Structure 1
Amino acid sequence: AEKLPTAAGRVMQRELDYLGKAIDSGPTPRIALLGGSKAADSVTIANNFLEKGVSEVLTGGVVANIFLIASGVDIGKPSTEFIIQHISEYEEVIDSARKLIDNHGERIVLPTDVAINENGLRRGISIEELPTEHAVYDIGLDTLVSYVEKIEKAGTIICNGPMGLFENPEFAAGTRETFNAMANSKGITVVGGGETTMAFNQMGLSSKIEHLSTGGGSCISFMSGETMPALEAMRRSKIRYESK
């Protein structure tokens, strides 16, 4: 970019167009579904989305557990220990999630019930029944119905992360049904993140989505609102060579 004119290719341009419009100016209401196990990234993404005017952030997976803990809910030893083991800056992430709840309140939508793994079988319990000695593996059925209704009414849907441990058929319902709702939605659906893309492909829903990101970590950085060196280099190149 310093030596020669530099521009985005068609794949990158498509990524930027869809992600940028979905976050900043897509049809309203704009909602986001954030789930999966990469909760630290998702807390940062949630902050950027809410600052950009996304109406609601619906949470599932480990992301939901993080926000439940931040809101004062004891989710139980197995799920809490899993988070502590897999997030290096646990206290900082919980503190960031707590600040988002304080600042944005009901725009961060938490599960009202969850599915736990009880000896390999699915059992639904309400949030009021927590803590539990069993690991939380999926959103509950009441939460699922509520999320599907919100998806059906949305003008723009941005999804990053499954709602539960979809690889296990016992706990795939939350992910399967929310993803089906997105595929059948009249709104614009944009999907980012490797885990999410894999789930859409496995479920045979990729062709029904407006945009399935192939950007991986770069997509996460963009959704987080981070400065991206490649884009900055292209901006500098444009300014430099237009002035000649």
Structure 2
Amino acid sequence: MGVSTSAPDDGVAVVTVDFPPVNALPVRGWYDLAAAVRTAGADPKTRCVVLTAEGRGFNAGVDIKELQRATGPEAILGANHGCAEAFAAVYECEVPVVAAVHGFCLGGGIGLVGNADAIVASDDATFGLPELDRGALGAATHLARLVPQHLMRTLYYTSRTVTAEELHRHGSVWRVVPRAGLRAAALELAREIAAKDGRLVRLAKAAINGIDPVDVRRSYRFEQGFTFEANLSGVADEVRDTFGTDREEQS
């Protein structure tokens, strides 16, 4: 259980997240994920990173139960800072990051894939931000990188999800494959990227980030200010308290 890194192919590092039962990450998990991605990208032998997960879904966001157990602000502060670090680690990784997504990709999962360079998804993958149902705000910055503006707003306000095939039609998902073939498809793309000159790949990543019209770190931190406001006002706790213990997906 936790975050692990492997190197199945020359130039390719695979960072795998495994927090049963639904990959809802505790505070420490977000920091561990950030460290693993940054370490993999900093290795001069690495030319592409694949971000994947074990279990029933790619990512269910923040561990809501950890927040509910907290008696002070430390947990929400830790979750917000941890998410910001993990999202930034993916975006700022020195080499391209391919996200391999299966099952549900919710809340913080959107922050991860929205900052990735490419997404390969299984045909059972769904994507969404149930933040308003969980007493939280944030990651609209990253959802806006996956779908057009008005669809992003509709999805955000309703907490609805979209399928991998729908995102493929919008151009944000590179390939949709059967779940059994997800790892192979992600590694195929990663190997194609890793076949390039590593020095040029790193320059290309820096150049593309440099022309991005949105400063994603600053944009997400702006959103988080409203998350803090919701917590200080007590609204977030009221909504989180309605989170059922029998719900399988957390955000």
TM-score (norm 2): 0.32
Larger radius of gyration: 1
TM-score (norm 1): 0.32
